[in-house]
């Protein structure tokens, strides 16, 4: 039985490899497989055809093909990869209809999907309830834990925020169900409204630094460093974004998915603060042994810097522990986050991993100053090549 299970897993992973290879091959296919989602004037981040990162570093496919091949070969072979569970049991939450006045409640559903209840509105970020995130399910990355809220237990959703159109963030089956049930306002970066409109779902498309208002809640699109594609040839035909949400109960920053770039985007977003809560991605940073960051995904070290640059009072790490998308072990990102926070003298209570399905009451905003620099001996465990970092695979 174990042999059959192993063979089945290897076959499924091989099929995943073939899907990735097909997507890469499509980059040289003629334009009839391309889709143009947006037409508008040239800007610092739109060249008239495709969107780009104005700080440079506009590679389309993370990571390089050679590194990707090494990662996939290890995944297919079933060896020399840090541990990930095949399945985790979780206790899903059953949220109230709304948070109490002045209260901010947050439930991590998994990956970048978060329910935020604050200021009389219910907000969902990058909602994904599908088991597989891929253009051709059932082949593709499969969730290891069920969503932290059963879909039927979701309260009525008022606002949905989409960061970009990769399948682990832009899940059409889930968005279709949510639209049919709740008719929520869906805010997307430029061009992604075209994808939703094709599925019969209206959305509001925003450029960076544009905003919309729903009652007392304001939603602002802000810069991140990433890329977009649904099928290879449509690369960067739509924009990507982080989001600021201003509510009567406090302000929130949602990072979605971002690489480092110039790392100035967090300070730019801080102008819309102060932030009671920041939802900061920490996973998907390792495609080769000991890699700490890649061009499209920040790691825990950068996440700590983002936390400081935003001036956030509290933060929750997202984009980890749900779908295996990279080489680091299941618990590596939160463990590494704890280490970098300690080296920066930031109390763990301000920024640490939450359980999928945990209903968290976010503390009131508290302005806090942290040391600009720490003594060399305090920083030593966080230096490249340190035993403490080397132990986190």
For 209-253, write each residue's pLDDT tens digit. Answer: 999 999 999 999 999 999 999 987 899 999 999 999 999 999 999
**What is the mean pLDDT of the segment spanning 39-51?**
97
Contact 350, 340 (CB under 8 A): no
Encode pLDDT of 69-118 as tens digits.
Answer: 555 555 555 567 999 999 999 999 999 999 999 999 999 999 999 999 99
Q: Is the pLDDT of residue 193 over 80?
A: yes
Averaged pLDDT, 179-184:
98
Going from the C-alpha of 294 to that of each of 224, 285, 337, 387, the distances in angstroms are: 14, 6, 16, 21
pLDDT greater than 60 at residue 285: yes
370/75 Cα distance (integer angstroms): 40
What element of type H or E holds 390? helix 387-390
Indicate the pTM of the whole model: 0.90
Angle (nearest 5°) at CA 333 between 175 and 383: 145
Contacts of 197 (CB under 8 A, 6+ apart): 203
- Percent of the chain residues topping a pLDDT of 90: 78
Judged against a pLDDT cut of 80, whether residue 332 lies above it is answered with yes
Q: Could you tell me how far CA 369 lies from the centroid of its own chain?
A: 27
- Domain annotation for the chain: domains and CATH numbers: 104-390 (3.60.15.10)
Backbone angles phi, psi at 139, to 5 degrees: -85, 130
Which range among 16-30, 114-128, 218-232, 370-384 shows the weakest confidence by mean pLDDT?
A: 16-30
What is the arithmetic mean of pLDDT over 323-327? 95
Tokens at 213, concatenated? 């208002």
* Number of Cβ atoms within 10 Å of the Cβ of 27: 14
- Higher per-residue pLDDT: 233 or 356: 356
Closest C-alpha to 186, from 168, 167, 165, 166:
165
Question: How far apart, in whole angstroms, are the C-alpha atoms of residue 221 and residue 122?
Answer: 18
């Amino acid at each position: 039985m174990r042999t059959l299970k192993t063979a089945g897993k290897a076959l499924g992973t091989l099929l995943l490899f073939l899907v990735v290879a097909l997507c890469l091959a499509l980059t040289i296919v003629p334009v009839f497989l391309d889709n143009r989602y947006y037409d508008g004037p040239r800007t610092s981040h739109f060249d008239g055809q495709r969107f780009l990162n104005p700080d440079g570093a506009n590679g389309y496919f993370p990571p390089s093909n050679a590194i990707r091949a090494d990662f996939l070969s290890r995944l297919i072979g079933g060896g020399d990869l840090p541990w990930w569970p095949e399945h985790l049991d979780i206790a899903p939450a059953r949220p109230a209809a709304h948070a109490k006045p002045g209260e901010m409640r947050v439930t991590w559903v998994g990956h970048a999907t978060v329910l935020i209840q604050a200021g009389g509105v219910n907000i969902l970020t990058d909602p994904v309830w599908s088991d597989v995130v891929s253009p051709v399910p059932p082949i593709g990355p499969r969730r290891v834990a069920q969503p932290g809220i059963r879909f039927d237990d979701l309260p009525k959703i008022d606002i949905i925020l989409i960061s970009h159109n990769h399948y682990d963030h832009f899940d059409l089956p889930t968005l279709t169900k949510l639209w049919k049930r709740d008719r929520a306002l869906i805010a997307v970066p430029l061009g992604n409204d075209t994808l939703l409109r094709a599925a019969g779902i209206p959305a509001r498309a925003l450029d960076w630094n544009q905003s919309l208002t729903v009652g007392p809640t304001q939603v602002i699109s802000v810069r991140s460093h990433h890329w977009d594609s649904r099928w290879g040839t449509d690369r960067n035909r739509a924009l990507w974004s982080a989001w600021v949400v201003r509510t009567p109960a406090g302000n929130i920053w949602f990072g979605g998915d971002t690489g480092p770039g110039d790392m100035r985007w967090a300070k730019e977003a801080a102008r819309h603060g102060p932030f009671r809560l920041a939802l900061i991605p920490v996973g998907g940073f390792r495609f080769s042994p000991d890699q700490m960051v890649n061009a499209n995904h920040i790691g825990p070290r950068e996440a700590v810097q983002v936390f400081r640059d935003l001036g956030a009072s509290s933060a929750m790490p997202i984009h980890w522990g749900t779908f295996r998308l990279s080489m680091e072990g299941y618990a590596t990102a939160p463990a590494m986050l704890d280490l970098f926070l300690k080296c920066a003298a930031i109390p763990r209570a301000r920024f640490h991993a939450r359980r999928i399905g945990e209903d968290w009451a976010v503390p009131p905003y508290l302005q806090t100053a942290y040391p600009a620099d720490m003594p060399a001996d305090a920083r030593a465990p966080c230096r490249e090549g340190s035993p403490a970092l080397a132990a986190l695979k």
